[in-house]
Amino acid sequence: MDSPTLTDNIPFQTILAAKENLGESVIRTPLVPLNVNVPGKKVFLKLENLQPIGSFKIRGAGNALANLSQDELKDGVYTASAGNFAQGLAWNARKRGIPCDIIVPNHAPLTKLEAIERLGGNSLKVPFEKWWEVLQTHHYDGMKGKFVHPVCDPAVIAGNGTIGLEIVEDLPDVDVVICPYGGGGLISGVASAVRSRRPRAQVYACEVNTASPLKLSFDLGKPSTCDYTASFVDGMGGKSVLEAMWPLVSHLVDDSLVVTLQEVADAVKLIAERNHVIAEGAGAATVAAAMSPKFANRLGGNIVCVISGGNIDTNKLVQALEGKIPQ
C-alpha cells in the first residue's frame, strides 16, 4: 500500500481545521512551570497526560476519523500501536459506535493493553518485527476495516499539531520545544504549528539511547536503522526512521537529544516529586533532555517539554521513584 505524500510541513490551515474537528472532545491541556530552579532557563510542562486516555494520541486519532467518510468507516478501523495511539483510536471509535482492532508488539505494557480492552478495542499481539512491518506497509493480512496509521497519516499529524497551537497561544515567547520521538507524527505536527507562529523557536526531538534512529539519521543525512533494545520507555523509539516521515522531520526538527534510561527514570521521579504529575517514560524523557548538562549550551530561555502521556505500569513507576531503572 502506498504511503501518503508528505512534504516539508503540515499547512497551518489544516491544523486550524483539526482544532475545529476536535472541538471539546479533547482537553486543552495546561502549560505549567516545572518546579525546579535552573539558571538561564525556565522549563514548562505541556501536560498531555491529562487527556481522557492519558496521552496526546487522542488528538490525532480523533482528527483522522473526522476526515474519513461513513463508507470508509463502515467496517471499523484498525492500527498498529504500542498502546497510546491504540487507546486514542479505540476511544474515538467507541464514540462513533464502530469496531476497532489493534495490532500491538509483544512487549506492549499491561497498563496499555488493559486500557485498550477497557475502551472497547481488540488487541492482537505480534512479534516486534511483524508489528514494525505493519507500520511500514500500512496493512495486515486478514484484518477488516480501514487502516489508520499512527504516524504517517496527515490528518493524525494535523491533530497532533493542535498541541503546538496551544503552546504558542499560552507562551508566545517560547524559545524551545522538546517532543519525544517515536515515529515523528507528534513532533511534525507540533513543529508545523509552532514554526507558523514562532519561526525563531527551536524544536528538538528526544530519544533514548536504546532506540535512537533519528539521531543516527541526522548524522548520516538519510533515514537510517539503529540497534534497538526494548525498555520501559515504550511510548517512543523504534529501530528506524520511516521514510515517509523523513521529508517532514528533516525539515522541521533541529536535532535529536539522546538521553539514557537512568536519566529518564530520574525525570519520572523529578516530575512526580516536584509537580505531583505522573509521566510515562516517553513524556519524562523530554524533561530529562531539558535538565541534562549535556545540552546546557543548546537549551535556554523558555523551554516547553511535551509530557506526551502518563500511562506507566505501577511497578515501573515505583521502581523509578526508588531511583532505579524500571525493568
Does some domain include residue 120? yes
CATH number, domain at 314? 3.40.50.1100
Mean pLDDT value across residues 118-124: 92
Q: Are residues 164 and 136 part of one domain? A: no
Does some domain include residue 250? yes
Give the residues across from 204 on adjacent strands: 178, 255
Q: Are residues 110 and 179 part of one domain? A: no
- Domain endpoint, select from 86, 114, 147: 147
- Domain endpoint, select from 147, 165, 194: 147
Q: Residues of the chain with pLDDT > 90: what percent?
A: 82
Whether the predicted pLDDT of 318 surpasses 80: yes
Separation CA 241–CA 249 (nearest Å): 10
Separation CA 297–CA 318 (nearest Å): 33
Supply the pLDDT for residue 306. 98
Lowest mean pLDDT among 4-8, 50-54, 241-245, 314-318: 4-8
DSSP string, 200-265: T-EEEEEEETTB-HHHHHHHHTS--B------S-TTS--SB--GGGHHHHHHH--EEEEE-HHHHH
pTM given for the model: 0.92
Whether the predicted pLDDT of 1 surpasses 60: no
Does some domain include residue 7? no
- Work out the pLDDT band at 4, boundaries 50, 70, 90: very low
Of the candidates 184, 139, 193, 136, which has an alpha carbon nearest to the alpha carbon of residue 164? Answer: 193
Whether the predicted pLDDT of 2 surpasses 80: no
- Domain endpoint, select from 95, 130, 147: 147
Question: Tens digits of per-residue pLDDT, 174-218?
Answer: 999 999 999 999 999 999 999 999 999 999 999 999 999 999 999
Q: Are residues 101 and 233 part of one domain? A: no
Average confidence score pLDDT of the chain: 93
Whether the predicted pLDDT of 3 surpasses 60: no
Separation CA 60–CA 18 (nearest Å): 9
Structural domain boundaries, residue 111: 58-147
DSSP 108: -
Q: Are residues 257 and 170 part of one domain? A: yes
Q: Is 276 helix (H, G, I), strand (E, B) or coil?
A: coil
What's the number of domains the chain is made of? 2
Does some domain include residue 5? no
Question: Tens digits of per-residue pLDDT, 263-292?
Answer: 999 999 999 999 999 999 999 999 999 999
Question: Tens digits of per-residue pLDDT, 28-63?
Answer: 999 999 999 988 899 999 999 999 999 999 999 999
Q: Are residues 283 and 158 part of one domain? A: yes
Give the residues across from 257 on adjacent strands: 206
Q: Are residues 105 and 127 part of one domain? A: yes
- Write out 139-167 in H/E/C secondary structure: CCCCCCCEECCCCCCHHHHHHHHHHHHHH
Q: Are residues 271 and 140 part of one domain? A: no
- What's the residue count for the chain? 327
Q: Are residues 120 and 100 part of one domain? A: yes
